[in-house]
Amino acid sequence: ATPTALLVGTGRGAQLGILIKGPEVLESTRAVDTVVLDKTGTVTAGKMSLTDLHGDDDVLRFAAAVEHASEHPIARAIVAAAEERLGALPPVEKFRNAEGLGVVGQVEGKTVLAGRPALLDQHGITVGDEFAQVKTAAEARGATAVVVAWDGEARGVVVVADTVKPTSAKAVAELKALGLRPVLLTGDNTGSAQAIAAEVGIDEVIAEVLPADKVDVVKRLQAQGRVVAMVGDGVNDAAALAQADLGLSMGTGTDAAIEAGDLTLVRGDLRSAVDAIRLSRRTLGTIK
Ligand code: ADP
Ligand code: MG
């Protein structure tokens, strides 16, 4: 394409709510055949809320006290529910964020853990059949279970759920119509990821990926000869966005993701990713 065509394309992008870092970005979009979609905050709204509490009020109170120090959407949901039901929360000390696993801290002299069973395993705590079943059932409907433990024992489960953005299923259908293969990538559990994928029409799911490993998933797909666009919003997506042949950041996401991407979808709507790919093909004359 001529420089003029690329500039016109870039201007058109701005009108569509797509901020393109440089005219050359439109060129790299052309060969994309795979679109990797982060789940939380990209396909889903990223605004979680509490749906179930298995255990007494202390389960919610201790979990929320520790989560208070975390910025994760799961943490926000637990804290909001606890503050509404129980009022002020006790302070947390020695807080530690176990990346992609959960949180740990001291509350009222007890070491409290809240997160995936793998986090409890690391501390030699068994989840138990009852809580494992609650977890499986929650995940089958696309929710996320947070197991809560203190004094060396699992005490309860807090279930939080996110909602799929209203435009995500349509966007996925349009990506497929353009001949692209959508892949759902998430740190969340496989059960929940598959439920969300089914809801929006994605067949390929890569779940339980630690934040630092998302970039390796992109590299692996590229090694298979696929040309990869990645759409993400989180700090944990930044390296993968930079590694992808085309990085698309949600304008509603974190600064780290926006800096790492080649273009920003201002509205945080997946349909803008479809618009970006169409715009590129049109600008470069592959479709009319
Ligand atoms: P995603 O890729 O969906 O943004 P993350 O990598 O941030 O997910 O987290 C992966 C998983 O780790 C979550 O689904 C959850 O099970 C657990 N987790 C992460 N942070 C927290 C937290 N603050 N509290 C409880 N669990 C957490
Ligand atoms: Mg995310």
Say which CATH number the domain at 245 has.
3.40.50.1000
Residue 288, domain member (yes or no)? no
Pair 270, 13: CB distance under 8 Å: no
How many structural domains comprise the chain? 2
On the question of pLDDT at 287 being above 60, the answer is no
Distance CA 87, CA 62 (A): 13
* Any ligand 1 atom below 6 A from CB of 102: yes
Considering the entire predicted model, what is its pTM? 0.83
User: Cα-flanking dihedrals φ and ψ of residue 95, to 5°?
Assistant: -65, 140
118 with 259, same domain: the answer is no
Are residues 253 and 124 both part of a single domain? no
| pLDDT value, residue 180 | 97
Distance in angstroms (rounded) separating the CA atoms of residues 262 and 278: 16
In a domain, 246, yes or no: yes
User: Does 249 sit in the ligand 1 pocket, CB within 6 Å?
Assistant: no
Whether the CB of 112 sits within 6 Å of ligand 1: no
Ligand located closest to 188 CA: 1
* pLDDT tens profile 180-195: 999 999 998 999 999 9
- Whether 116 and 189 map to the same domain: the answer is no
Report pLDDT for 279: 87
**Both 11 and 94 in a single domain?**
no
Q: Per-residue confidence at 22, pLDDT binned at 50, 70, 90? A: confident
Q: Is the pLDDT of residue 288 over 50?
A: no
- Does pLDDT of 98 surpass 70? yes
- Residue 57: active-site member: no
| Nearest ligand by distance to the CA of 148 | 1
Domain boundary residue among 161, 185, 214?
161
Tens digit of each residue's pLDDT (9 = 90 or more) over 214-245: 999 999 999 999 999 999 998 889 999 999 99
Predicted confidence (pLDDT) per residue in 119-174, tens digit = 999 999 999 999 999 999 999 999 999 999 999 999 999 999 999 999 999 999 99
Range of the domain at 109: 49-161
- Which band of pLDDT confidence, cut at 50, 70 and 90, is reported for residue 93? very high
96 alpha carbon – ligand 1 mean position (Å): 14
Residue whose CA is closest, atom 20 of ligand 1?
102
Contact in structure between 248 and 265 (CB atoms under 8 Å): yes
